[in-house]
Amino acid sequence: MSSQSTSSVLRVGVLGGANIARQFTRDVRPSQTVRVVAVASRSDATAQVFAEANQIDAWFGSYDAMLASPDIDAIYLPLPNSLHAEWAIKAANHGKHILCEKPLALDRDEAARMFDAADRNGVMLLEAFPFYFQPQTAAMMSLIGEGAVGEVRAIQACFGFTVGNPGANIRMKPELGGGALLDAGSYPLSLIRLVMGSAPSRVDAVATWADSNVDISLMATLVYEDGRRAQVSCSMDAANHRYATIIGTQGTIDTEYLNHTSDQASGDAYGYLPSQLRVRRGIPNSVPFDAVPAATGSGFLFAAESFARMVATHDTAAIDYYAQVSLDNAATLAAIIASARSGKTVTL
């Protein structure tokens, strides 16, 4: 079991000093229920530099040393995709809860081993999609649940950007789990899974391949047992775009499903922007879309505090729900890339 402190604060250690770790640490700092108390790197010097720059009290010169500390309840795991399983399992074996960056794993078997390790050690493992925990996502799911657009029949979702410094960027390295699908496509796919409620039965995908043999862009069609369909698009060679349309029998929902949101159209301290969520309650195009308001803020903060609540209340039902979502996502991601590489339909 975790050595969680008796206080209401979840003490988190950050595994690695990537840029996303800096953003996570910064955004979680105001929390009353989560505190980043340590960082680990591959040397004392780099760990100390990160800790001092990010107002963290303790640092460790190896990942293993931090995992062995009794003063840490949980880890935030932002390492490259190919290292998620190894270090999540090690953390679980040390009795630490794990908040793991997306994608959780490279395939379903890897994800299953991670959850098995968490269960065996009595700790909680959660895949950290920040938009999952945005109030806007809760509002979207409420619209669907209350039948605002009737029965959902299809969803189209996309996310893409231009990758910086492609010669050295880990997103371009297949051995580190790079590629547009895992890095960008995991977002729209995870949204599709939330809305559809299950994994598809089969997928068809086509990709464009970079010189390093990772997918630089990809599109896929997902078909479900009951005839519903979804389309996912992702890229690392296009202007930034992030958008989804949920198509129902009685209406439509449009959303940007951003990770981090702001009330300000410009001038936010961290560059966060408003995220669109709108609904058309009706069949004809003469029915106007209505904007749906929701609270705003950092998805890192929302996710970390949601995780802390799950740990504090031992909310196994929530963890089990998100575990099944993550397992379905991992299986679907693997099927999509297999289809793109083979040019054939892949059945899950």
Please write the tens of the pLDDT for every residue from 252-293: 999 999 999 999 999 999 999 999 999 999 999 999 999 999
- Give the whole-angstrom CA distance, residue 232 versus residue 48: 41
The 3-state DSSP class for residue 107 equals: coil
Query: Average per-residue pLDDT in the chain?
Result: 95
Q: Report domain extents, the chain.
A: 10-128, 132-302+330-347
Q: Which fold has domain 132-302+330-347?
A: Dihydrodipicolinate Reductase; domain 2 (3.30.360)
Which of the residue ranges 164-178, 221-235, 306-320 would you say has the lowest mean pLDDT? Answer: 164-178
pLDDT digits (tens, 9 = 90+) for 17-37: 989 999 999 999 999 999 999
Six token digits for residue 101: 């960056």
Instruction: Provide the β-strand partners of residue 75.
Output: 13, 98
SS3 string of 311-347?
HHHCCHHHHHHHHHHHHHHHHHHHHHHHHHHHCCCEE
Q: Same topology for domains 10-128 and 132-302+330-347, yes or no?
A: no
How far is CA 132 from each of CA 15, 103, 299, rounded to the nearest angstrom? 22, 13, 8
> What number is the average pLDDT over the span 159-165?
91
pLDDT at residue 7 in the model:
59
pLDDT at residue 232 in the model:
98
Q: How many CB atoms lie within 10 A of CB 321?
A: 11
pLDDT at residue 344 in the model:
98
pLDDT at residue 169 in the model:
86
Active-site positions?
A: 102
Instruction: Provide the β-strand partners of residue 98.
Output: 75, 125
pLDDT digits (tens, 9 = 90+) for 138-156: 999 999 999 999 999 999 9
Residue by residue, DSSP assigns 121-140 as TT--EEEE-GGGGSHHHHHH
Residue by residue, DSSP assigns 221-271 as EEE-TTS-EEEEEEESEEEEEEEEEEEESSEEEEE---SSB-S-SS--TT-
pLDDT at residue 315 in the model:
97
> What number is the average pLDDT over the span 167-184?
89
pLDDT at residue 167 in the model:
77
Predicted TM-score (pTM) of this structure:
0.94
> What number is the average pLDDT over the span 74-91?
96
Helix 108-120 × helix 316-342 angle, to 10°? 160
pLDDT at residue 317 in the model:
97
Architecture (CATH level 2) of domain 10-128: 3-Layer(aba) Sandwich (3.40)
Q: Does the pLDDT at position 3 exceed 50?
A: no
Q: CA angle, corner 275, sides to 309 and 284, nearest 5? A: 115
